[in-house]
């Protein structure tokens, strides 16, 4: 009989902490429903005390989602816990996730405290959370760098206080896999009452070992894996949900099962990538563009003779249909709607008509339409009600001449026009925008990324604009890279001009 591994997804909490990847409540609900369909057991919906937006998201996700447990993060602070309990009042299954740092780094430098005081605060937090919900999870922040004997004391104390799940995070991604596995095994063997609770792993990827550490922890007794879609998260990211799910699906001999419907992995991967404006690297395991691509002649020959020669995963097992309908300028609304459905996007008739119109325009400019192209199209709807919109953009440039751009903007219904030159067509266009919008803002970062190969490709532009000491993030995609750059610049400006 196989052991059950619970999947705890923190895409909407830890994943959403990535700069420039913030979602609004409607988008969070969309992701939460997709996570429910995927089969995750626990959704960490946010950190309610951190902002009114996070509080509201936890409330609305609690209303929208039926069977998964909805979890809210707190510090070991009574007000945090009280606010989290209030946000969870509509959850069918609510969990408060409270905790405190346990490494000497945190105890000395973060809290200016002592080991005994930290245990007292941990116990007090769990007991207080227990007044609101039965399901209380405790995290020992920076457990990866906490010595095992002291960690065992903390964990034993919070179990006695009523914790139902104990989370052992490798917060800084420091541990080696065998080291992390031994830590979990030590707790299993030395903590009284550990058999009555679930041990969770929460591993970061600073040294590229998040998934390896998570698997090592599970093989040594952990039965909850804290993960994110596409491995997004603080700094270098978190353990990838798709990697953990497919490791245990591929290694039947480990006798560990999850509730994940793996055929929905690709669709939710692309949805999260699109909503968060965060491209999936081409060589990303499981969901990257090249995950099932073979360029070597030897590999191609082997795959053609027998797929398993070089593929340990059937692409269809993660939702990549090799025989999927190919979208072209001659495709109809039904084909587009079908592909969007596979990608986890449902549109009403009005939005589908708009998406189809944009799709036809794109299809006339591109030979091949891929999933990322489609998601970029429907993603543009999110900025449809922005205060500033482009009426027109015209750029003249060439060898031996200085680029000049003319632009027309619609700002809250009022029309403005300007022209400017620059060091290149993008610089000229942005200078033209600056002539209309007189603010002291500077471009801090400018990234252009092609989705696929080819001169007719859709280019994605990420831009960071600094205004009054705060960074604002803009994003756009277009087959015209100058247009995409200006759209991304205005997307950032819309976030600080009200």
Q: According to the model, what pLDDT value does residue 489 have?
A: 93
Q: According to the model, what pLDDT value does residue 32 have?
A: 97
Q: According to the model, what pLDDT value does residue 116 have?
A: 98
382-391, 403-412, 474-483: which has the highest mean pLDDT? 403-412
pLDDT-derived band at 179, boundaries 50, 70, 90: very high
Least confident of 79-83, 243-247, 332-336, 383-387: 383-387
What digits encode the pLDDT tens for the residues 129-163?
999 999 999 999 999 999 999 999 999 999 999 99
Structural domains of the chain, with CATH: 1-274 (3.20.20.70), 295-371 (no CATH), 386-492 (3.30.160.270)
Least confident of 102-106, 151-155, 466-470: 466-470
What digits encode the pLDDT tens for the residues 32-57?
999 999 999 999 999 999 999 999 99
Q: According to the model, what pLDDT value does residue 203 have?
A: 98
The answer to whether 74 and 84 are in contact (CB under 8 A) is yes
The answer to whether 488 and 475 are in contact (CB under 8 A) is yes
Rounded distance between C-alpha atoms, residue 373 and residue 379, angstroms: 10
What digits encode the pLDDT tens for the residues 300-325?
344 445 545 546 788 888 888 654 45
* Per-residue b or e along 121-145, where b marks 16 or more CB atoms closer than 10 Å to that residue's CB: bbbbbbebbbebbebbbbbbbbbbb
Answer yes or no: is pLDDT of 69 > 80.
yes
The two three-digit tokens of residue 193, written as one number: 């009452």
HSE of 451, CA atoms in CB hemisphere, 13 A: 25
Rounded distance between C-alpha atoms, residue 154 and residue 295, angstroms: 52
166-180, 342-356, 460-474: which has the highest mean pLDDT? 166-180
Cβ atoms within 10 A of the Cβ of 402, count? 12
pLDDT-derived band at 497, boundaries 50, 70, 90: confident
Answer yes or no: is pLDDT of 196 > 60.
yes
Q: According to the model, what pLDDT value does residue 325 have?
A: 55
Q: Give the chain's largest Cα–Cα span.
A: 78
- CA angle, 50 then 51 then 57, to 5°: 105
**Residues 216-232, mean pLDDT to the nearest whole number:** 98
Rounded distance between C-alpha atoms, residue 251 and residue 144, angstroms: 26
Q: According to the model, what pLDDT value does residue 305 have?
A: 55
The residue length of the chain stands at 498
Choice between 17 and 297, residue whose per-residue pLDDT is larger: 17
Answer yes or no: is pLDDT of 471 > 70.
yes
Rounded distance between C-alpha atoms, residue 200 and residue 188, angstroms: 12
Q: According to the model, what pLDDT value does residue 301 have?
A: 47
Reduced to 3 states (helix: H, G, I; strand: E, B; else coil), residue 294 is: coil
Binding-site sequence positions for Mn(2+) = 14, 202, 204, 238
What digits encode the pLDDT tens for the residues 277-296?
788 888 899 998 777 764 34
Q: What is the pTM of this model?
A: 0.77
Instruction: Look at residues 251, 208, 186, 206 and name the one whose alpha carbon lies nearest to residue 5.
Output: 251
**Residues 74-89, mean pLDDT to the nearest whole number:** 98
Q: According to the model, what pLDDT value does residue 298 have?
A: 39
What distances in angstroms separate CA 174 from CA 145, 146, 208, 464, one per listed residue? 7, 11, 10, 30
Answer yes or no: is pLDDT of 75 > 90.
yes
Rounded distance between C-alpha atoms, residue 210 and residue 202, angstroms: 8
Rounded distance between C-alpha atoms, residue 183 and residue 186, angstroms: 5
Least confident of 54-58, 326-330, 376-380: 376-380
Rounded distance between C-alpha atoms, residue 217 and residue 204, angstroms: 13
Helix runs in 131-280, H state only: 148-161, 177-190, 210-219, 241-250, 265-275
Q: According to the model, what pLDDT value does residue 154 have?
A: 98
Answer yes or no: is pLDDT of 275 > 90.
no
Rounded distance between C-alpha atoms, residue 389 and residue 84, angstroms: 38
- CA angle, 335 then 289 then 478, to 5°: 65
Rounded distance between C-alpha atoms, residue 214 and residue 352, angstroms: 41
The two three-digit tokens of residue 41, written as one number: 């057991």
The two three-digit tokens of residue 220, written as one number: 């040594």
**Residues 208-219, mean pLDDT to the nearest whole number:** 98
The answer to whether 355 and 347 are in contact (CB under 8 A) is yes
Binding-site sequence positions = 14, 202, 204, 238
Average per-residue pLDDT in the chain?
Answer: 89
């Amino acid at each position: 009989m196989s052991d059950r591994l619970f999947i705890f997804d923190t895409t909407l909490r830890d994943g959403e902490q990535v700069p420039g990847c913030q979602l609004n409540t409607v988008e969070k609900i969309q992701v939460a429903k997709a996570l429910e369909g995927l089969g995750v057991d626990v959704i960490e919906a946010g950190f309610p005390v951190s902002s009114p937006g996070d509080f509201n998201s936890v409330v609305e996700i609690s209303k929208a989602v039926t069977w998964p447990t909805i979890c809210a993060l707190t510090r070991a602070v009574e007000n945090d816990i009280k606010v989290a309990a209030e946000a969870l009042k509509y959850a069918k299954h609510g969990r408060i996730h409270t905790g405190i740092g346990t490494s000497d780094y945190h105890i000395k430098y973060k809290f200016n405290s002592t080991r005994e005081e930290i245990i007292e605060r941990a116990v007090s937090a769990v007991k207080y959370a227990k007044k609101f919900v039965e399901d209380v999870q405790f995290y020992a922040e920076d457990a990866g760098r906490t010595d095992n004997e002291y960690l065992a004391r903390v964990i034993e104390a919070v179990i006695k206080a009523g914790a139902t799940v104990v989370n052992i995070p490798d917060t800084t991604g420091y541990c080696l896999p065998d080291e992390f596995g031994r830590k979990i095994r030590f707790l299993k063997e030395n903590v009284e009452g550990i058999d009555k609770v679930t041990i969770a792993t929460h591993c970061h990827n600073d040294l590229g070992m998040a998934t390896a550490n998570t698997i090592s922890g599970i093989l040594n007794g952990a039965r909850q894996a804290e993960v994110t879609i596409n491995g997004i998260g603080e700094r270098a990211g978190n353990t990838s949900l798709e990697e953990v799910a497919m490791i245990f699906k591929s290694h039947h001999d480990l006798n560990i099962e999850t509730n994940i419907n793996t055929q929905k992995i690709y669709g939710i991967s692309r949805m999260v990538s699109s909503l968060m404006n965060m491209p999936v690297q081409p060589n990303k395991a499981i969901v990257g563009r090249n995950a099932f691509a073979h360029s070597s002649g030897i590999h191609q020959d082997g795959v053609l003779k027998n797929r398993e020669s070089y593929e340990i995963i059937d692409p269809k097992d993660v939702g990549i249909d090799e025989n999927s309908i190919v979208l072209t300028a001659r495709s109809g609304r039904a084909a587009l709607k079908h592909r969007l459905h596979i990608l986890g996007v449902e549109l009403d008739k009005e939005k589908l008509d708009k998406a189809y119109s944009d799709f036809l325009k794109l299809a006339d400019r591109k030979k091949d339409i891929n999933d990322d192209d489609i998601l970029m199209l429907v993603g543009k709807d999110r900025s449809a009600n922005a205060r500033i919109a482009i009426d027109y953009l015209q750029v003249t440039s060439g060898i031996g001449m200085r680029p000049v751009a003319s632009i027309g903007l619609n700002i809250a219904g009022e029309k403005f026009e300007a022209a400017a030159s620059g060091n290149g067509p993008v610089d000229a266009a942005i200078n033209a925008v600056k002539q209309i919008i007189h603010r002291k803002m500077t471009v801090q970062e400018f990234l252009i990324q092609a989705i696929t190969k080819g001169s007719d490709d859709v280019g994605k532009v990420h831009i960071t604009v600094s205004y009054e000491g705060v960074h604002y993030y803009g994003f756009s995609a277009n087959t015209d890279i100058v247009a995409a750059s200006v759209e991304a610049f205005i997307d950032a400006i819309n976030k600080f001009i009200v």
